[in-house]
Chains A and B, each alone.
Chain A
Amino acid sequence: MTKAITPPVPAPAAPEKQKFRLARYQDLALVPVIILLLVIGAVLSPIFLTPANLIAVLTQQSELSLLVLGQAMILIVGKMDLSLESTVGLAPALAVALIIPASAGGLDVGLAAWLALPLCILIGVAIGGLNGFLILKVGLSGFMVTLGMLTMLRGLQLAITEGKSLIDVPESFLYLGSTTWLGLPAAVWICIVCYAAGIFVLKYLRAGRSLYAIGGNSEAARAAGIRVDRVVWTVLIIGSVLAVIAGILMTGRLGSVAATQGEGMIFQVFAAAVIGGISLNGGKGTLFGALSGVLMLGLVEQILRLQGVSGFYIKASYGAVIILALIVTRFATGQKQE
């Protein structure tokens, strides 16, 4: 059998020059908003447009952006994973605890320190794989399974660490969390690479396009020969692994694993994804859009921080900012959010 398309009539001449279509630029809808935020930031604070400040924004958002990358793919394929934020904490905590002695708060297993990174990734694969098994093979509700997993993993981390921070962090984590390559923190490079890979896969690979087909109509995807369960399972695992990488970077940046590492991030993750145009019903949105959502949130937060909003109000203002950002996005893109 040939793969070529053999039409009964000759192919038409090359399509005429595409007219300007707003829909094709939906991706870029947030770019003007981001530029506007840069201008506002520059007006309000003289140091806002300095490289140091902008790099700080990027670094702060790097961990969130990895979670958003994973969640965006999971949402596009028509599922959601709430447990990502606990994975951020548990994977580094468990890996570290398996390495360090009991005197430092570990489990006294005494694995070699070089195992820290592979171990973390393995834990991520296991969590994503387990979520996928429960959702796809057992047939449980994805929302409830991952909500349960969220609570269980957080509890597991508390049990392992007895609520204490682990400060004896492996060198590899510290290196990734603090080094700079070519003037940018390693964390930022890692994000750039992950996003570039993600954007490429979702645009140019058949496997990536199948995410949209499954999220848009999984029955049609199946009838078109796409192995739906396999793709969804893979996406869930990739999402968990990205959360683990975020956890490693966070651990390295802070130099310890806090018992609450990652707590509360899931709200921002969903906010950035929705602001970035990802539909909660699946099948719609792009990773570039999701990335703009992350950047937009980061800029607004930084503006507030530089304005010296009182610590007691900062949380309330974050909530308000997210709602405000949703409103701005709603009108900037002209689309109702789902």
Chain B
Amino acid sequence: MSEFAAVARGVTKRFGQTLALDDVGIEVRAGESHALVGRNGAGKSTLVSVLTGMQVPDAGEVSFFGEPAPPVADRSAWRRHVACVYQKSTVVPDLSVAENLFINRQDLGGGLINWKRLRLQAAELLETYDVAVRPDALVSTLTVEQRQLVEIARALSIGSRFVILDEPTAQLDGPAIERLFDRMRSLQDKGVTFLFISHHLQEVYEVCQTVTVYRDARHVVTAPVAEMSKPDLIEAMTGEAGGLNVPSGDDRPSSAEEVLTVSSLSGDHFSDISLAATRGEVIGLAGSASSGKHEFAETVYGLRKPSAGSISVDGAAVRGGDVPAALRAGIGCVPRDRHHQGLVLDLSIAENATMSTAGGFVWPSAQRAAGSTAIASYDVKAAGPDQPVSDLSGGNQQKVVMARALAGDPSVLVLINPTAGVDVKSKESLLGVVDAQARRGKAAIVVSDELDDLRVCDRVLVLFHGRVVREFGRGWRDQELISAIEGME
């Protein structure tokens, strides 16, 4: 048996004009957790599809434990070699956990499906991997964390000892991420190899032993994690020296003029929250996934109806639960999930960017000009305003969502996870936009789990079980904030 769980050499892959992978390689040592990092568009996703047999490379070879990879048509052979837990779920939501675990082999080799046996086997499997869900529960009722565990258990039960985790932490909150890491470590002790992809460099240090960096479709470096400092890693990713350059906003001018006033607002999963934002002020909202911070922000923008309380902008009350009213009052929003609420993927950049603000008449030339302006203003990497947003990388898609939120020149910005799933450079650029908007006299609410996002804020409110429990001014320490978020005092 080879010492490498997976080896790719000289892999080149081209999509039309774009070179997605340029003669790259990776060697994942058996039993290690190997991180693959790089900016959006660096070629990580393409490498994952080559390693899982979803794409045939134009050149190069892949092997698992010293054996050459099976032919692409032989899906079941691939599944025995390698498993991948994607960002997007690959389970069928309306089927039970048991059926999902044994999907397309529900008969357990018997020809007829024996449901009782299937449930028993599933229960055994779940117990082996210590996954606390009922086999007859519908997958749609599981949390993201449980769903991922089911996917991992399914992968391991097929016999694969090499698991690719593609941004597994993107949708998890702090404690869930810790539990996932504990599980990774214990599976690693049992000989499972991981290829771990994440935008959070901290996680790489926490759970991986080796790191490989890709940049612009090329391999840049592979090194033991212990020998790479964080600035070195960022330099390898961006090709520029220096760490993440987030504006702290320390020198932002402050003003006493109140723009947004929220009084004793209550709604889904939060109650009695009051908040006042002045011109140029950026307020962070932190808290765990169940803290109600998302629901609060969505209520301010009218996506949800409040059950009590009031919202007003510049002293004028805004009708609750009414997005057009919120837009008219001057509230712009980057919604929680760009695929779900932020973008219409088949439509062009121009059309997405102007969706909230178009007048009665939409002149294509004016729309295209507005699209070009958005591309230039928010540094979107795109061929032109007519390009459908589905062609863009995650970071650039998020910039289009930001453009849409800002298109009407709102006086209040509600930004929910504004940098979720985007690379370091895009993150800098997006947070730079937030800072610039605040300097222009807008008030902003930033809802995020990421400390980098909260650094741009003037103060951070921590929510716990739907109530504000702590407030931090500038200069909070990471440890302090995290323990407040976790509800530890």
Contacts and interface: CB of A to CB of B under 8 A. Distances in A.
Interface of A: 1-12, 14-15, 18, 21, 24, 203-209, 212-213, 216-217, 219-227, 283-284
Most chain A beta carbons < 10 A, residue from B301, B328, B347, B440: B347
Interface stretch (B244-252, B356-364, B458-466): B356-364
B430 to A, nearest CB: 13
Contacts of A222: 303, 323, 341
Given A219-B341, A223-B335, A224-B404, A11 B373 contact: yes
A184 to B, nearest CB: 30
B67 to A, nearest CB: 35
Interface string B239-276: 00000000000000000000000000000000000000
A4 B347 CA distance: 22
A29 to B, nearest CB: 17
A15 B385 contact: yes
Contact of B362 (A4, A206, A220): A206
10 contacts: A4-B409, A9-B377, A15-B385, A203-B364, A205-B360, A207-B360, A217-B340, A221-B355, A223-B342, A224-B323
B355 A224 contact: yes
B343 A8 contact: no
B346 to A, nearest CB: 5
B404 A216 contact: no
- Measured as residues with beta carbon below 8 angstroms from the partner, the interface class of chain B is 35 or more
Given A1-B408, A2-B409, A24-B386, A8 B344 contact: no
A25 B373 CA distance: 25
A222 B358 CA distance: 14
A141 to B, nearest CB: 15
A213 B341 CA distance: 11
Could you tell me the dominant secondary structure of chain A's interface residues?
loop
A192 B411 CA distance: 45
B312 interface: no
A216 B373 contact: no
B376 A1 contact: no
A227 B327 CA distance: 12
A128 to B, nearest CB: 23
Nearest to A4: B409
Which 5 residue pairs across A and B have the least CB separation, nearest first?
A: A216-B344, A7-B377, A224-B355, A206-B358, A223-B341
Given A204-B363, A205-B360, A223-B323, A212 B344 contact: yes
A287 B358 CA distance: 21
B333 A8 contact: no
Contacts of B342: 220, 223
A4 B303 CA distance: 24
Interface in B329-388: 329-330, 333, 335, 340-347, 351, 355-364, 368-370, 372-377, 384-386
A56 B35 CA distance: 69
Contacts of A8: 377, 433, 436-437, 440
A25 B411 CA distance: 40
B93 interface: no
B370 A216 contact: no
B10 interface: no
Given A3-B408, A223-B335, A205 B361 contact: yes
A209 B358 contact: yes
Contact of A220 (B326, B343, B410): B343
Contacts of A223: 301, 303, 323, 333, 335, 341-342
Contacts of A18: 384, 386
B377 to A, nearest CB: 4
Contacts of B356: 224-225
Interface string B433-463: 1001100100000000000000000000000
Contact of A5 (B345, B370, B440): B370
B362 to A, nearest CB: 5
Contacts of A221: 344, 355
B341 A225 contact: no
B358 A5 contact: no
B324 interface: yes
A7 B406 CA distance: 9
Most chain B beta carbons < 10 A, residue from A8, A24, A207: A8
Nearest to B357: A3
Interface of B: 301, 303, 323-324, 326-330, 333, 335, 340-347, 351, 355-364, 368-370, 372-377, 384-386, 404, 407-411, 433, 436-437, 440
A138 B335 CA distance: 27
Contact of B368 (A4, A15, A284): A15
Nearest to B302: A225
Given A222-B323, A223-B323, A206 B359 contact: yes
Most chain B beta carbons < 10 A, residue from A5, A212, A217, A225: A225
B327 A225 contact: yes
Contacts of B440: 8
A216 B389 CA distance: 12
B410 A1 contact: yes
Nearest to B351: A209
Given A4-B409, A204-B361, A204-B362, A226 B347 contact: no
Contacts of B386: 18, 21, 24
B268 to A, nearest CB: 16
Contacts of B357: 3, 5
A11 B372 contact: yes
Nearest to B334: A223
B339 to A, nearest CB: 8
A216 B347 CA distance: 8
Given A3-B359, A205-B360, 10 more contacts: A2-B409, A5-B409, A15-B385, A204-B364, A205-B361, A209-B358, A217-B341, A219-B341, A220-B335, A223-B342
B341 A206 contact: no
A216 B328 contact: no
B459 to A, nearest CB: 24
A208 B369 CA distance: 20
A320 B323 CA distance: 48
Nearest to A283: B346
Given A206-B359, A220-B340, A9 B376 contact: yes
Contact of B346 (A11, A209, A216): A216
Contacts of A224: 323, 355-356, 404
A289 to B, nearest CB: 15
A8 B436 CA distance: 8
A212 B347 contact: yes
B384 A15 contact: yes
Nearest to B298: A223
Most chain B beta carbons < 10 A, residue from A1, A14, A21, A207: A1
Contacts of A219: 340-341
A226 B376 contact: no
Nearest to B358: A206
A219 to B, nearest CB: 5
A12 B376 contact: yes
Contact of A284 (B346, B369, B404): B346
